[in-house]
Structure 1
Amino acid sequence: MKRTQGGMTLISFIIVLAVVGVFIYMGMKLIPMYSEYYAVKRALSEMSTDAAVEHADPAKIRDLFFRRLYISYSDNVGKEDFKIERKDAGYLITVDYEVRKPLIGNLDIVGRFNATQELRRRGG
């Protein structure tokens, strides 16, 4: 009985390597976008527990938020993406932004992110 070898050919190995390479390259583009989004969410949640924000006006809240983002090296969130509105006994902050990164040639990766946080004022 003759035994044949099984396995991939060189061509199929190169194709698999190319597909894996494309996914790794896409991951290198996506991971910074999502880490920035989680930095935005972290900044918002920290602000909701910060005593300095409790009695601050909207301009001061905006300044504190962007200071926290500056520490996290977040470049894609602009002043126009930050909205603050009065709600009940506090404020509702909405950060809605889009990130566009070039992928290959004329193809781009586009991420749309939205984060909200309610800031409540405590009596005192």
Structure 2
Amino acid sequence: MKRTQRGITLLGFIIVLAVVGFFAYVGMKLFPMYSEYYSVKAALKGLATDPGTASADPAKIQDLFFRRLYISYSDNVKPEHVKIRRADNGYQMDVQYEVRRPLVFNLDVVGKFHATQMLTRGGDGV
């Protein structure tokens, strides 16, 4: 009875390890970008639930927004990325920004993010 070996060879293991390592590296580059985006969404949602935010002036709303972002160490969102315009019963706040991170040699990962939140006088943010 002849026994044959079964399993992965050393070369196959190295190739699988390289592919998994590459995707882990890309994930490490993407995770902070998406983490910051979810911090922006949380800050917008928090502003929408605060009573009296929609009756404040736009400069005060923007200041409150950036204070919330400062807590979560978000550094890619700048004041020029934030647009506040009057809506029916309060304001509509739009945050649109782009994040570019180097990946490998001359290749970059680019993330374009956009979040919108209604700030209504009722404080429900809907």
Whether the TM-score (by the shorter chain) exceeds 0.5 is yes
Deviation at 1:55, TM superposition (A): 1.9
Counterpart of 2:99 in structure 1 is 99
Q: 1:3: Cα distance to partner?
A: 1.4
Cα pair distance change 1:101/1:36, threshold 3 Å: same
Name the CA distance, whole Å, in 2 between partners of 1:6 and 1:104.
36
Counterpart for residue 14 of structure 1: 14
Aligned partner of 1:30 in structure 2 is 30
Matches within 5 A, 1:1-124: 1-122=1-122
Query: Following TM superposition, by how much is the alpha carbon of 1:89 offset from its aligned partner in structure 2, in angstroms?
Result: 1.6
Identity %: 67
- For 1:68 and 1:52, locate their aligned partners in 2 and report how far apart those are by CA, in whole Å: 16
Structure 2 residue ranges without an equivalent (≥5): none
The TM-score with structure 1 as length reference comes to 0.95
TM-score, with structure 2 as normaliser: 0.93
Q: Which whole-Å deviations, capped at 9, do the CAs of 1:59-81 have from their partners, x for residues lacking one?
A: 00000000100001001101111
Counterparts of 1:76 and 1:44 in 2: how far apart (Å)?
16
Given that 2:55 and 2:90 are in contact with CA atoms closer than 8 Å, whether structure 1 keeps it comes out as: no
The separation in 2 between residues aligned to 1:5 and 1:38, in whole angstroms, is 49
Q: Secondary structure at the match of 1:53?
A: coil
- What are the Cα deviations for residues 25-78 of structure 1, in whole angstroms up to 9, with x where unaligned? 111111111110000000000000112413210000000000100001001101
Contact kept, 8 Å, 2:76 with 2:99, in 1: the verdict is yes
Count of aligned pairs? 122
Supply the distance in 2 between the matched residues of 1:101 and 1:44 (Cα, whole angstroms).
24
Instruction: Report if the CA contact (8 A) 2:86-2:92 is conserved.
Output: yes
Runs of 4+ in structure 1 deviating by more than 4 angstroms, as ranges, are none
